[in-house]
Amino acid sequence: MNTLSTRFFYYKTFLVLIFSFILAPGFTQTPGTLTGIITNCVTGAPVVGAKVTVGTLYTFSVFGGIYSLSINPPGTFTVGCVKSGFDLYTSSPVVFGSGVTINLPICLNESANPPALVVAALDSTV
């Protein structure tokens, strides 16, 4: 059955698909980027393995304390940073724009109450 209404339906569907492929790239946003170096506030030494979070996104600092994180969708978020033996860091709100790179150096203070070392042994005499 090749009625006029069926042809019109296929024609509309075809046009919607064509316009979707043509216009869709214009609606995508380029992610913002957060970069920086994490250091120890007292010694100035880089901190490796610190977790940097922005909303639900996160990354870890690597050699030299360097970190980088793509923020998509862009918006306004606080930046958090945590590492065992250091106090929690929380920034004031940061505006991440589309395609904009923000450099945020983070200085972590050593914790006054670091986690205790736990030693466990098995009693093999039982």
Fold of 32-108: Immunoglobulin-like (2.60.40)
pTM of the model: 0.69
Q: Model confidence at 29, in pLDDT bands (50, 70, 90)? A: confident
**Residue 124 confidence (pLDDT) above 80:** no
Domain boundaries, the chain: 32-108
Structure tokens at 101: 């790179």
Residue recorded with tokens 């736990």: 118
Cis omega before residue 115 (within 30°)? no
DSSP 71-111: ESS-EEE-EEEE-TTB--EEPPPEEE-TT-EEE--EEEPBP
